[in-house]
Each structure stands twice: as C-alpha cells, then as structure tokens.
A and B are shown apart, each in its own frame.
Chain A
Amino acid sequence: MSTSNSSSMGQTFDPQAAAELREKRKQKIASSLAKRHRKEKTFRILGFSAVVTGLFFVVLLFGSILAKGLPAFWQSSISVPVYFDPALIQVGAKPVQKEGESPAQFQERTIAWQTEMGMVDWDALIVNSMIAKDSSLASKRDELSGLYTSSEAYRLRDMVMADPSLIGQKEQIKILADANVDVWLAGNIDRSLPDDQQQISPEVRQLADQLKANGMIENTFNTNIFTNPDSRSSPATSGLAGAFMGSLFMMMIVIFISIPIGVASAIYLEEFAPKNFMTDIVEVNINNLAAVPSIVFGLLGAAIFIGWMHLPLSAPLVGGLVLSLMTLPTVIITTRASLKAVPPSIRQAALGLGASRVQTVFHHVLPLAIPGILTGSIIGVAQALGETAPLLLIGMSAFVASVPTTPLDQSTALPVQIFLWQGNELRNFFEGRTAAAIIVLLALMVGLNSLAIWLRKKFEVRW
C-alpha cells in the first residue's frame, strides 16, 4: 500500500485515478474479508476444540477409572453358618505364664500352642458348613474347597485363637470366594475360552455358577479392601489397610517436618532476611529445588538416609523424610506468596505503634496469612500423598503383608500399592483392584483439595 502511495505522490494529483485506486483497494479488502472472517472462525473453533479436548481427557480419565474400579468394591462371597466342631478342633488350653517362667520360655510355649492350632483342618470346617447348608453338595468336597480363598481358613483359626470359647458354637460367617471364582462370576474373563486357558477347572466353574444361581454365592460389598493388608497367597482378601497406614504415617511426618520448617523459612526469607548475596542464593535454590524431578529425591533418600545413616529399608520414616524434603519448596513458595499478599500498611501500622519486627510478624502479619499458608500446605501434602517414584528407590515397593504399627515397620504406601497391584500376574482380578485403589487415592486427594478450596473461600480476605 505504501509503495502505491509514494509512486502517486511524485505526479500531479489526479482525482479520477485516486478514486479508482480507492475503489480497487475497497474491492481488495472486501474480497479478502470473507476469507479473513473464515480464518477467524476456524481459529476460534480450534481454540474451543482444544478446551473440549482437555475436558474430554478429564472425563475419559475419571470415567475409565470409575468404570473399572467401582465394580471391584463388590465381591463374591458365601455366607454360611460355620460350626466350630470340637471333634475337629482338638487342641490344649491356651497357655498361661507360670510362676518363675521367663518371658522367652512362655513365648516358646505360646508358639507351640499356635502351631498346634495351625494343624487343625480348618478347611474341613468351612466345607462341612457349606454341605450342612445344602446337602446335595456332599459329593463335591474337592470342588467346594476350591471355591473360597485360602486365607479364610486362617481367619477361622485366628477367631478361635482370640476366643477359644467359640469351639462348639455356630456362627454366621461371610466366606470370601476365591479371586478366580470372582473373576469368573463377574465376567472379567472371556467365558468362551478353552479349558486350558481358564484359571479354574470346569467342575469348579460349574459349581460356582450353580451356587450363584441358587443364591448361596452373593455379590456383597467388600470391606476387606479397607480392613486388610496386601496378601499374596489369598488375593481375594488383599486390601489397602497396610498401605493406608503407611501413607498416614508418612503424611504425619510430612506435616510435622515440612510445614513448620517450610513456614519458618518462608517467614525468615520474606520478613527478616537481609537482602544480600546469601539470601539470593537461598531464593534461587528454593525455586530450582521445586522443579527437581521427584525421583532425584528418591536417590537422595537412598544415598543419605539408607546408605549413610542406615535407617531401615521400606520404613515410612524414611519415606516421610524424603517426601518432606520434596514438599518443602512448595510450602515455602506458597507461604511466601501469602505473606507477600498481606498489605504493607498492616506492618507499618504495627511498627508505628511500637511493636518490634518479631511482634509485627507474629501478632499481625502471620494471622492474616494463615488461610493462604493452610491452603498451600494442604496442596503440598496432597502432592506428597500421590508421589510414587522416590518411594520405590527407598525399598517401599517390597511386598508387606502386615499393617505397620510404628513408622519404623516395613510398609508400603497407597500409590506404591497401586504400582504393585497393576503388576500382579493375576491380571483379571487385580485390574479391578488397581482401579479401586486409585479411586480410594483420588477420593483422598479430592477431599484434601476441596478442604483447601473451602478454607480459601472461607477465610479469603481481599485487600
């Protein structure tokens, strides 16, 4: 455009040529206008579809996890009255510590008694009780013993061990079906597969179908997933209790280490630190620490806490320490942001009335910043709750079949349990379990995050 102007400038002004030129330009703009509007529309649709794609992924992620995981909260079980037959349970009385006996000797006798208990044919109790309920099953003892999961026998043993007066009595007990039976009944395996690719024998399959049809096997809500630790020998009873306790211990450690230290260092950096080279280094350092990959913290834990300090492997204590270090930058950065948001006039007013700097910060600034600090801390803890990679490196991926009672016991954590379950060979069964564990983890995280949002909404102050 500018070239045509300059070329016409040199000549004398010709109104007709100018009008022509203007007309031409108008036409050019008009003809390109439709194209430009089309482009505008395409661009806009492109943007909208990007948003829709993003939302679609959110829905897909949650939808597929829920679809796979929710059914796993229900599991096949057989509810029968179990008769604790004294003829089958022939054991001596529970040992009592005698006068003059050392605790070690008493422990030995107790173990001997427990071994005796373990020799009882508990499986026979279960099979007998099923036959007692439906006498037509009497000829199928072997198939019946394949129906339920193996640890149910130990559960009966533990019940009697805890309360020997049960012997001779009848009690209604929910016996969990074997994992493969559950998979078969839930339709999680292709029923048309030939026998050699099925996990259980045709007789057991047929029996399972028959009992399901006559209502002896029911699909009941599975509380085991919340109350039991992981189990290898009896996958049907495996649960999240151990992993949950491990995560709980670690979160406690994160809360008690990361939040006080993080808040204290944020207060120092924001309110007290002199502006010098050292402080600059600390600042740059914290910003970079926040972006260090989490697995590097795992390496740090493996080298320092385990290799150098010889803390126990797989312990929530070590996991908690590693996660605390990882969460620290998040807490510091969010705390600093919320301290920064407190208007300087508050500080000036306090200082003007003669408060010292420490008094100003702790009596006036900090209380106003607490909602922001809480929100940031909760988000940091939620992040730590979902972190897996560093825990694998400090040995928390070991199989642990007990619920930890102290932070020094062996333990797993919720996300690690998900990792372990997704790798289990019993794929058909554990796919559901994995998704169910994810639902539990996500529910906890959603809970924590909504708490953070609620706190922010409730206490938010706009200056």
Chain B
Amino acid sequence: MNLLLMGVLLALIAIAYQIGLSKSRNLAGKGNNSAKLHSRPGYYGALVALWCGIPAFLILLVWNIVEPNILRHVVLNNVPASIAATLDQASIEVLIDRVQAIASGFGVSDQAAAYEIAAAQQLAKIETISSFAKLALVICAALAGLVMAKKRVAQQYRARNQVEKIINWSLALCSGVAILTTIGIVLSMFSEAMRFFHFVSPIDFFFGIEWNPGFSTSGNAEGSYGLLPLIWGTLMVSGIALLVAVPVGLMIAIYLAEYAPSSFRAWAKPAIEVLAGIPTIVYGVFALMVIGPFFKMLGESIGVHINATSALTAGFVMGIMIIPFVSSLSDDIITQVPRALRDGSLGLGATKSETIRQVVLPAALPGIIGAFLLAASRAIGETMIVVLAAGNSPLLHVNPLEAVSTVTITIVNQLTGDTDFASPQALVAFALGLTLFVITLGLNIVALYIVRKYREQYE
C-alpha cells in the first residue's frame, strides 16, 4: 500500500515538473525566449514538483507513525473488560497478532473467540477506511500543492530563489545530523549513566578498587563497581601499545621523510599504511592465533610464565595497529618543518642525524606530541583486540604478563549475554562509556589544539 502510494506520488511529482516546465515555456512565448522569465524553465518545474511532493510526503510520514497506535486501540476496545483484565503485556501482543491474522483473511488454525472475530471485523473495516482515507488525503495534498504552485508561476516569479532556498535549507538540515549524533551520544549516555548512579554512588564507581558486578538476575546492585582496575588495565594495555608504536612509527616517519629515496618511499609508505585499514577483529584473531602462543612459547623457553592472553599480547598487537597512525601523522609534521632550518644546521657542519635529532625533532615536537595523544586516544577506545587478547581479569596488578580487563572489554561483557537492560549490571556499561567518551574527547581536543597551533607556527 505504502509502496503503491509512493509510486503514485513519484508519478505525480514527475507530472508536476512537466506542468511547471511547460507552463513557464508557454510564458516565455514563441521561440522559447527564456530571457522573458525570471528563472530558467527547469526551476519553475522543480518548484511545482517540490510543492507537490513535500507536503504529501510529510502527511504520509505522520500518518504511518500514528496509524498503528490507532489500530491497536480499535482492537483493544473490542476485548471485553473481563478478559482484558487478565491479559499481561505479552498476551496482548499475541492477541493483536491473532486479530490481525483473522482480519487479513489468513485465519488462525484453532477456533477464534467471538470477541476476536468481532474485533477483527471492526479492524478490517477501519483498515479499509483508513487506507482509502490515506490515499485520498495524500493525493489531495499533492494535487493541491501542484495547483497552488502552478497558479503562482508567472513571468517574473522568482522560482530560482525559492528552489535555492529549499536546497539551502535541506543542506543545512543534513549538517545538523552530525550535531544530533553528538547530542544523542551525550544525552543517551548521560541519562543511562544517571540511572546507574541511582543504584551505585558515583564515589564508589569512580574510586572503587574492586570490580565484581555480580549477575543481573538479582535485579539490584549487589556487587562492587570500582572503575579503577578497569582504567588501570586500559592504561597498561595502551601504554604497552604506545611503547611499541611510538619508537617504531617515529623512526619509520624519520627514515621515510629524511633518508629514503623517493622510489622506496613510494611503495613502502602505502605498504605500511595497509596496517591501518585492516579491521580490528583481524588483529584480535591474529593476536590470539599467532602472537599470544608465540609469547607463551618465548616465556617458556626463558622460564617465565606468560599468559597467552595478557596485557602484553593485546598491547603489542595494538601497537602494530597504531604504527601507521603514528608514522603518517609524524611524517606530515616532519615534512612541514621548513627547509631553512635543516639547511642552516647542515651548513654549520652537523651530520644528517644530528640535524634531525637536534633541529628537526625539537621543531616538530609539539606536533609529534599531538600525534602521540591521538594515537593514545585510539588505543584507549580500541575494543576488539582487547576483547580477544587481553584476557578478562579485572584485578589491580602491575604484571603485564598476566591477563587484565579494560573499560571497553567490560562494556562489551556487560551488554552482551542475557542482561536485563534496566539492571545496574547493564546500565554500568553506559557509565563506563561516558567515562571513555570523556577521556578520548579530552585527549582529542588537546591533540587537535596542539597540532593546529603547531601548523600555524610555520604557515
């Protein structure tokens, strides 16, 4: 029905365009002298089409949102009060499904109750009326828009300005979506986190040193919800990742920017950047299948116990993942350092490495710190690698060879599985998410500020 109506509407819009077009061409007179018109004929067509389409589509949209609720009421009104009192939420849904099946002529396999049949008859009647009413209303709206817009088409009517105004508005609306997303993130996290703080006090959450939320079946906050072990695990894993990624990434950037012949750079740079495009789940599986067992074996051969899933494994693999991130950001920044600084240093007799270490790097330092912070925020928010490779033991310990738990692992654990959405065990995920959001946002804002400031310095 909706599809049919949509098709009719599209056809009407096409006709409206043609009407506007031909009327404006007539106005232009013989020889299609469009100089007599304010706008080109296409704009008149577009304006009539928009007037025809937009109100009709809006009506259709509102109707489709409201209609199901009204139909529900019709069904429930037909259920005798004595039976309605015995129904719970689930059996109401079953009842509505049954009535709808009878009304559509599909029938039910067992004997339908009298009130069900009565409800179905009424439902079928109202559905028919409603669909005709919808059809009539939408088409009337479309035609009314068409006629009204057509009337306004005149030689000096500013159709182009109207159409452009509409285009402008719709573009602005689209850019509002990004804002809405942010507002949605902040509001949803904040309100759900507030619900969580009804169960657990924020002080216990932010400064607690024990993480043991218990199971959601109990329906109340029995366990302990201390954030610190999770933050500690997150910092440990990201710290290891940065220890791997920053030296390697920075040296790659230096070598490719300062030493490598351009033919080598041309293929080595994209080859390393391939690492940035690989999905994180692949890194997770890689850690689990290759790196974890390798570290375990390495540990056995030197007599140290290394867990296959540990902070070390997760951090190391995450480090591999952010190498290209560090290297390409630093590369950009190093190449931005002005040529004159290098020439000055080389002219005084410094070797190339001395120039890099004592002139280029200090000059690029703020930018590199910015890159470092961006990489850190990447590492803190990373999920799949740690879910697969960090193990899951939310304890405060300093041994990177043991399993740890992070904020992101816990979010996934608390929201997957059979959790009741309203229990503190599930709601805590939003409090954790909010914490994560604030940390990464802070890091990003500082990093972007530093990078931008640095860029201005040399422009």
A386 close to B280 (CB less than 8 A) = yes
Q: Determine whether the beta carbon of A39 is less than 8 Å from that of B353.
A: yes
User: What are the residues of chain A within 8 A of B192 when measuring CB–CB?
Assistant: 303, 307
Assess A104 versus B381: contact at CB under 8 Å? Given A40-B351, A299-B430, A422-B285: no
Closest-CB distance, A381 to chain B (whole angstroms): 12
B106 pairs with A54, CB closer than 8 A = no
Chain A window 12-50, contacts with chain B (Cβ cutoff 8 Å), 1 for yes, 0 for no? 000000000000000000000000110110011011111
Docked CA distance A41–B321 (Å): 28
Contact B171 A267 (CB under 8 A): yes
B interface residues, tally (CB under 8 Å): 93
Whether the pair B412, A389 counts as a contact (CB closer than 8 A) is: yes
Distance between Cα atoms of A265 and B445 in the complex (Å): 22
Interface status of A211 (Cβ within 8 A of chain B):
no
Contact (Cβ within 8 A) A261 B352:
no
Binary CB contact string for chain A from 283 to 307 against chain B (1 if under 8 A, 0 otherwise): 0011111011111111110111001
- In the bound assembly, the distance between CA atoms of A295 and B429 in angstroms comes to 11
Q: How many A residues are at the interface, by size bracket?
A: 35 or more
Q: Give bound CA distance, A53 to B250, whole Å.
A: 12
Contact residues in B for A46 (Cβ distance below 8 Å): 251
Interface string of B189-221 (1 = CB under 8 A from A): 101100000000000000000000000000000
Residues of chain B with a CB closer than 8 A to A357's CB: 164
Residues in chain B near residue A291, CB distance under 8 A: 374, 377-378, 440, 444
User: How far is B268's CA from A422's CA once the two chains are assembled, in angstroms?
Assistant: 32
**A210 sits at the interface (CB 8 A):** no
Would B353 and A292 count as touching, CB distance under 8 A?
no
Q: A142-174: which have CB < 8 Å to B?
A: none
Q: Across the interface, do A388 and B279 meet the contact criterion of CB distance under 8 Å?
A: yes
A449: contacting residue among B259, B277, B352, B437, CB under 8 A: B277
Contact A40 B353 (CB under 8 A): yes
Q: Which of A282, A388, A395 has the most CB of B within 10 A?
A: A388
Contact, CB under 8 Å: A415 / B281? yes
Which of these binds chain B: A345-353, A369-377, A434-442?
Answer: A434-442
Counting CB contacts under 8 A, is B135 at the interface?
A: no
Q: Is the interface of A mostly helix, strand, loop or mixed?
A: helix
- Is there a chain A Cβ closer than 8 Å to B354's Cβ? yes
Cα of A40 to Cα of B185 in the assembled complex, Å: 51
User: In the complex the two chains form, is B421's CB within 8 Å of A307's CB?
Assistant: yes
**CB–CB A57/B352 < 8 A:** no
On chain A, the residues within 8 Å of B83 by CB distance are: none
0 or 1 for each of A321-359: is its CB under 8 Å from B? (1 = yes): 000010011001000000000000000000000001110
Q: Closest approach, in angstroms, between the C-beta of B350 and any C-beta of chain A?
A: 9
Nearest Cβ in chain B — how far from A310, in angstroms?
11
Check B256 for interface membership: any CB of A closer than 8 A: yes
C-alpha gap A46/B254 in the complex (Å): 10
Q: Quick one: given A64-B290, A261-B174, are A54 and B185 in contact (CB under 8 Å)? A: no
Given the interface pairs A44-B259, A393-B411, A393-B412, the reply to whether A273 lies near B175 with Cβ below 8 Å is: yes
Which residues of B sit under 8 angstroms from A442, Cβ to Cβ?
278, 282
Pairwise interchain contact A264-B109, C-beta atoms closer than 8 A = no
**B327 engages A54 (CB within 8 Å):** yes
- The answer to whether B285 and A435 touch across the interface, beta carbons within 8 angstroms, is yes
Return A322 CB to nearest CB of chain B, in Å.
10
The listed residue (A50, A265, A383) touching B248 by CB distance below 8 A is A50
- Determine if B381 and A296 form an interchain contact, defined as CB atoms under 8 angstroms apart: yes
Which one of B108, B254, B285 has the greatest number of beta carbons of chain A within 10 Å? B285
With contacts A293-B380, A293-B382, A389-B384 taken as known, whether A303 is within 8 angstroms of B188 at the C-beta atoms is yes
The residues of A that contact B320 with a CB separation of less than 8 Å are 57, 61
Contact with A along B263-300 (1 / 0, CB 8 A): 00000100110110111111111101110000000000
Measured CB to CB, the closest approach of chain B to A48, in angstroms, equals 6
- Cβ of B400 under 8 Å from chain A: no
Are B408 and A293 closer than 8 Å at their CB atoms? yes
A residues in contact with B415, CB < 8 Å = 298-299, 302, 392-393
Known: A43-B353, A51-B260. A300 touches B184 (CB 8 A): yes
Is the Cβ of A329 less than 8 Å from the Cβ of B178? yes
Across the interface, B185 reaches (CB within 8 A) one of A265, A300, A332, namely A300
Residues in A neighbouring B377, C-beta threshold 8 A = 291
**B172 within 8 Å of A by Cβ?**
yes
**B436: CB under 8 A from chain A?**
yes
5 residue pairs of the A-B complex, CB under 8 angstroms, read A40-B351, A288-B441, A291-B378, A328-B178, A422-B288
Q: Which residues of B contact A (CB under 8 A)?
A: 101, 105-109, 160, 164, 167-168, 170-172, 174-179, 181-182, 184-185, 188-189, 191-192, 247-252, 254-256, 258-260, 268, 271-272, 274-275, 277-286, 288-290, 320, 323-324, 327, 351-354, 356-357, 374, 377-378, 380-384, 387-388, 408, 411-412, 415-416, 421, 429-430, 433, 436-437, 440-441, 444-445, 448
List 14 additional A-B contacts (Cβ < 8 Å) besides A46-B251, A55-B271, A332-B178.
A44-B352, A58-B274, A65-B285, A103-B105, A262-B174, A265-B178, A281-B179, A293-B436, A300-B184, A302-B415, A307-B421, A419-B281, A441-B282, A449-B277
